Amino acid sequence: MNFIGISLTHKTASIEVREALHLSKEESSELILRLKENIFSSGFVLSTCNRTEIFGFPKDGKFDFQPVLKTLLDFKHVENLKPENFVKYFSCSAVKHIFKVASGIDSLIIGDSQILGQTKDAFQLSEDLEFTDSVTKRIFDTSIKVGKLSIRETLIGEGAVTISFAAVQVVGKIFSSLENKSALVIGAGETGELAATHLRDKGIQRLSIANRTFDRAEKLAKKLNANVIEFDKLKDKLNEFDIVFSATSAEGFILEYDDIKLNMKKRKGQPICLMDIALPRDINSKASQLDNVFYHDIDSLNIIVNQNLQKRQSEIPKVEKIILSEMISFFSWYNTLDIVPTIKAIREFFEEIGNDELEKIKYKLSSDGFEKVEDMTHRLLGRLLHNPTMRLRQIAEKGTDPNEVASMSVLVKELFDLNSESHEKETK
């Protein structure tokens, strides 16, 4: 199977290199057109924040990675790239790698739920640009199946494995429902945005954003349909919120013990959940001593994250079983692509001989006699070809090595000289 690929990921390159090599959708489209013109008959390009990968079937049928790499680097000029930044895959290993990516076990965060959607998008782009054939479509479909089975039949995607999501899950355990709760997110950076997005996804009733730079808070609030709190009025408004996430890069505490104590008086003892997901911390941990104050910081949340990561790690063997099963199924199908034409050619070869011999005696027998001989001939050919046909199918369906199946197909064709027209000449 002349299917090859190159891959640069978080395992082989720094974040700076990955960022430099990252391809937008428009760039992926343009690169596909170049690959389609000169290198591959079909394939796909996948580029995310943690990987850039190119896979396909070479037009010349050779396992030559250099033209693929050259096309990529001519298209996207990146300094400081080294050969060891790329991993090369071919045949079975290429298919297995794609299945692993779709399942999430090759991700920076094991069980990453986003990668399956990103893989789907990459496959769809290839289809839109007519960069597919029956084999690549089968790889695409099976990859998506592997991803879905991994989610449905294992716990590979269960449990929070980011600080932001872990914090939201803890909040969900403190409050039975977020539908009638209000939340404030302090900080509009990446961590704050993640926390705010998770809260919105969990159905928080009222969401507000506060940030030292008002414009940035306003931009995030607009994106999430949230309110904006002016940073210098933060402490005065604190009592209005049941949940507070703080994720700034400030030096020193934003909220002191006395700020929280005064807030609790205003709230008349109603519980408040404080999630300090900043480093260094934004909230004085002494506040956890106050009644009805539920406080967590990065250290306590990291314990949850690490526990969930270990659980996901333990699910990898289950995912690998799914991948192995689907690989066997895929290559069983793929192997029949070589065998089916061979079976057809053998049948046509014997049928030609049978029809030719019947034609020779057609006018030497009565009509009734000829029908009996014709029927006997067809039954005889059917019995003679039954076992070879079934055996060839079994070899194709059970074998996982496409080269072995291809060799068997070549051998059969050589035995019966099915690659030439000599047998046709002999029967004329």
Question: Do 271 and 149 share a structural domain?
Answer: no
pTM as predicted? 0.70
Question: Do 135 and 230 share a structural domain?
Answer: no
- Could you tell me which residues are beta bridge partners of residue 230? 211
User: What pLDDT is stored for residue 63 in this prediction?
Assistant: 86
Going by pLDDT thresholds of 50, 70 and 90, the confidence category of residue 327 is: very high
CB atoms within 10 A of CB 299: 11
In a domain, 32, yes or no: yes
Question: Do 337 and 269 share a structural domain?
Answer: no
In a domain, 188, yes or no: yes
Backbone angles phi, psi at 211, to 5 degrees: -155, 150
Going by pLDDT thresholds of 50, 70 and 90, the confidence category of residue 5 is: very high
Question: Do 170 and 142 share a structural domain?
Answer: no
Catalytic residue IDs = 49
Question: Do 217 and 142 share a structural domain?
Answer: no
Question: Do 183 and 134 share a structural domain?
Answer: no
Average pLDDT over residues 203-208: 94
User: What pLDDT is stored for residue 212 in this prediction?
Assistant: 94
Work out the angle at residue 411's Cα, subtended by the Cα atoms of residues 410 and 417, and round it to the nearest 5 degrees: 85
- CA nearest to 4, candidates 48, 41, 50: 41
In a domain, 111, yes or no: yes
In a domain, 296, yes or no: no
Residues 285, 301: Cα–Cα separation, whole Å: 14
**CATH number, residue 61:** 3.30.460.30
Question: Do 13 and 145 share a structural domain?
Answer: yes
In a domain, 33, yes or no: yes
Going by pLDDT thresholds of 50, 70 and 90, the confidence category of residue 421 is: low
Tally of structural domains, the chain: 3
Residues 264, 261: Cα–Cα separation, whole Å: 5
**CATH number, residue 270:** 3.40.50.720
Question: Do 176 and 272 share a structural domain?
Answer: yes
Question: Do 9 and 148 share a structural domain?
Answer: yes
Question: Do 338 and 412 share a structural domain?
Answer: yes
In a domain, 95, yes or no: yes
In a domain, 352, yes or no: yes
Q: Domain boundary at 94, 121, 153, which? A: 153
Question: Do 194 and 110 share a structural domain?
Answer: no
**Which structural domain range is residue 336 located in?**
330-426
Q: Quick one: what percent of the chain has pLDDT higher than 70? A: 95
- CA nearest to 293, candidates 139, 174, 414: 174
Contact 296, 276 (CB under 8 A): yes
In a domain, 311, yes or no: no
Going by pLDDT thresholds of 50, 70 and 90, the confidence category of residue 425 is: very low
Question: Do 187 and 80 share a structural domain?
Answer: no
